[in-house]
Amino acid sequence: MSATILVVEDEPAIQELIAFNLKQAGHQPMRADNAEQAMNLVSNALPDLILLDWMLPGMSGIDLARRLRTDKRTKTVPIIMLTARSEEQDKLAGLDTGADDYITKPFSPRELNARIKAVLRRRAPQMTDDVVQIGGLRLDPGSHRVSGNSEPVELGPTEFRLLHFLMTHPERVHSRTQLLDHVWGDHVFVEERTVDVHIRRLRKALEPTRLDRLIQTVRGTGYRLSGG
Amino acid sequence: MSATILVVEDEPAIQELIAFNLKQAGHQPMRADNAEQAMNLVSNALPDLILLDWMLPGMSGIDLARRLRTDKRTKTVPIIMLTARSEEQDKLAGLDTGADDYITKPFSPRELNARIKAVLRRRAPQMTDDVVQIGGLRLDPGSHRVSGNSEPVELGPTEFRLLHFLMTHPERVHSRTQLLDHVWGDHVFVEERTVDVHIRRLRKALEPTRLDRLIQTVRGTGYRLSGG
DNA sequence: GCGAGGTGTCACGGACTTGTAACATTTGCT
DNA sequence: AGCAAATGTTACAAGTCCGTGACACCTCGC
């Protein structure tokens, strides 16, 4: 799993430390000293996750988090808050910001990595670059390749994302709405039945390998990918 | 677990915040700024749970809770009260209104989600997606699969919901009316005898596994699922 | 601008579900 | 045993859901 992670932290020493640790863990850190800088960076390129210091000069981390959560484009980016021990009370005092997790400074790199991993997996397991394999199907997010029973399978972008999501959440029924949320993105206005069409295209692409049977319809509920 | 949850809160910021967190947790929030609005919404469609602010302009949350608890149609809807710290004294009084739980503001989303989950588990176990197992029968809401003695069982949507409800409320007789309310949903008008037909279909589907005997008729009263 | 591939929407038809009525059977009571 | 009420069972028409092909639009790269 490799992700680009934005570190928003005004203390240079701590920023450096975190960035170093992130690099060690295989991630790609971006840095910002304050909220304004962070906003600029984010407007250029969405990171996969944001580490956000609670106390910042100028606009506070709390405010920044709120703003990120308001903007449609950034509202789904996972946020981990960094708080000092003395600020711990504020977790409760301050209104909740919608952060995905909190870490109390000082923290160990081990803890940081663990939480990052947990948040990434919770928020977007299909974001990781892990190769997924289920019942003869194999999808490699890194090389963007899919194969069924060792035969290559050609997929369009949407079918790829759809299959990726299903494979990272197998043995579970997903309603059309859920699929739209996770594969198409939050709050995209698309007809629910469009999902059917893409399921159809995915099945068609898998037909030559007979693996289309893995994608099952649960009438009245949605679709499920099952390894059996 | 996905539930529709009514948020009754006059402070727009807090309402927005809660609604956002609920959505993140996979629920479907409905919103009301005051008690009257809440009553209207409820009369149209029963939510699975109500988050109710203690202090509201006009009719207070306490009064609203009492009224909801008086009406037969709404008396079983779980209620969680939101109270400010200064109102902590009133907690006991709050329990008197029939609230299932209370949360002191400000609170973390984690805590809110935990309490919601706990209340739903207690009051409406069929809303959760926990696997249910009784006497050889096994139902998995997540993957939408049922098996009896390890053999797969095919069920239609209604039979699935019916079995799910029975399995989450076993060893208890349910009248046809109760089954209609919980399985079909309120505001649905259907002949009571329709329940018989679906019970029949359910039994038929379970016959191959000999587990149809778990569904017992209580003459003059209704049906019961018993672990054997 | 122009073709190629990708995407969203629609409409049609078939398959499955569902509520109801009608008939059969069981149960409890006198 | 005989009766009425309750429940079991079946058939069916209407409705709903889903698979599928067609098509228009969009966006690229040439």
Residues 6+ positions from A108 with CB-CB distance below 8 Å: none
Confidence of residue A88 (pLDDT cuts 50, 70, 90): very low
Residue for token pair 């009896």: B148
SS3 for A111-163, per residue?
HHHHHHHHHHHHHCHHHCCCCEEECCEEEECCCCEEEECCEEECCCHHHHHHH
Percentage helix, strand, coil, to 5, in chain A?
A: 45, 20, 35
**Looking at the predicted structure, is the pLDDT value of residue A95 above 80?**
no
Q: Kindly list the protein residues whose beta carbon lies within 7 Å of any strand D atom.
A: A 193, 196-197, 199-200, 203-204, 217-222; B 193, 196-197, 199-200, 203-204, 217-222
Q: How does residue A89 score in pLDDT terms, banded at 50, 70 and 90?
A: very low
Sequential pLDDT tens for chain B (228 residues): 678 999 999 887 778 778 877 876 778 899 999 999 999 999 888 899 999 988 888 777 888 888 898 888 888 889 998 877 555 555 555 456 678 888 877 676 667 887 888 888 888 888 888 899 999 999 999 999 999 999 999 999 999 999 999 999 999 999 999 999 999 987 788 999 999 999 999 999 999 999 999 999 999 999 999 987
Per-residue pLDDT band for A200 (boundaries 50, 70, 90) equals very high
* Packed helices A61-70 and A35-44: angle between N→C axes, nearest 10 degrees: 30
Q: Omega of the bond prior to B141 within 30 degrees of 0, cis?
A: no
- Radius of gyration (C-alpha) of chain B in whole angstroms: 19
- Which residues, other chains included, contact B143 with Cβ-Cβ below 8 Å and sequence gap of 6+? A171, A172, A173, A224, A226
Per-residue pLDDT, A124: 62
Q: How far apart are the first and last CA of chain B?
A: 28
Min Cα–Cα distance to chain A from B133, Å:
18
Count of helix runs (H) and strand runs (E) in chain B = 8, 12
Cis peptide before B57 (omega within 30 of 0): no
- The pLDDT assigned to B94 comes to 47
Pick from A54-58, A86-90, B58-62 the range whose average pLDDT is largest: B58-62
pLDDT score recorded for residue B227? 80
- The two structure tokens encoding residue A10: 């005004």
Q: Per residue in A102-133, pLDDT tens?
A: 676 667 777 787 778 767 766 666 666 778 99
Split at pLDDT 50, 70, 90, the class of A52 is confident
Are B87 and B54 within 8 A, CB to CB?
yes
- Global pTM reads 0.74
Q: Is pLDDT of A156 > 80?
A: yes
Mean pLDDT within A142-171: 92
Q: What angle do CA B136, B142, B147 make, to 5 degrees?
A: 25
Task: Name residues whose C-beta falls within 8 Å of residue A151's C-beta, 6 or more positions apart in sequence.
Answer: A208, A209
To the nearest whole percent, how much of chain A has pLDDT over 70? 82
Question: Could you tell me the two tokens for A42?
Answer: 């984010």
pLDDT band at A92 (very low <50, low <70, confident <90, very high): very low
Element containing residue B224 per DSSP (H, E): strand B222-225
Distance from CA of A24 to the nearest CA of B (A): 30
From B14, B24, B157, residue closest to A95, measured CB to CB: B14
In Å, what is the separation between the CA of B181 and the C1' of D5?
Answer: 24
Question: How many Å does it take to go from CA A214 to C1' C10?
Answer: 27
List the single residue in B20, B21, B144 with the smallest CB-CB distance to A221. Answer: B144
For residues A68 and B61, give the distance between their C-alpha atoms in angstroms, rounded to a whole number. Answer: 32
Q: How many helices (H) and strands (E) does chain A have?
A: 8, 12
Percent of chain A with pLDDT over 90: 34
Provide residues of A within 8 Å CB-CB of chain B: 69, 91-96, 98, 171-173, 218-221, 224, 226
Token readout for A106 is 């000082």
Report chain B residues touching chain A, CB-CB < 8 A: 13-14, 17, 20-21, 24, 106-109, 142-144, 156-157
Of residues B57, B55, B38, the one with CA closest to residue B47: B38
Please name which of B102, B103, B107 lies closest in space to residue B21, comparing C-alpha atoms.
B107
B19 in Cβ contact with B29 (< 8 Å): yes
Query: In whole angstroms, how far apart are CA B69 and each of B48, B65, B74, B76?
Result: 14, 6, 6, 7
Query: In what order do the strands lie in the sheet containing B215-218?
Result: B173-174, B222-225, B215-218
Q: What is the pLDDT of residue A91?
A: 45
The pLDDT value recorded for residue A84 is 65
Q: Are the beta carbons of A173 and B142 separated by less than 8 Å?
A: yes
pLDDT at A121: 65
For the stretch B22-33, pLDDT in tens is 876 778 899 999
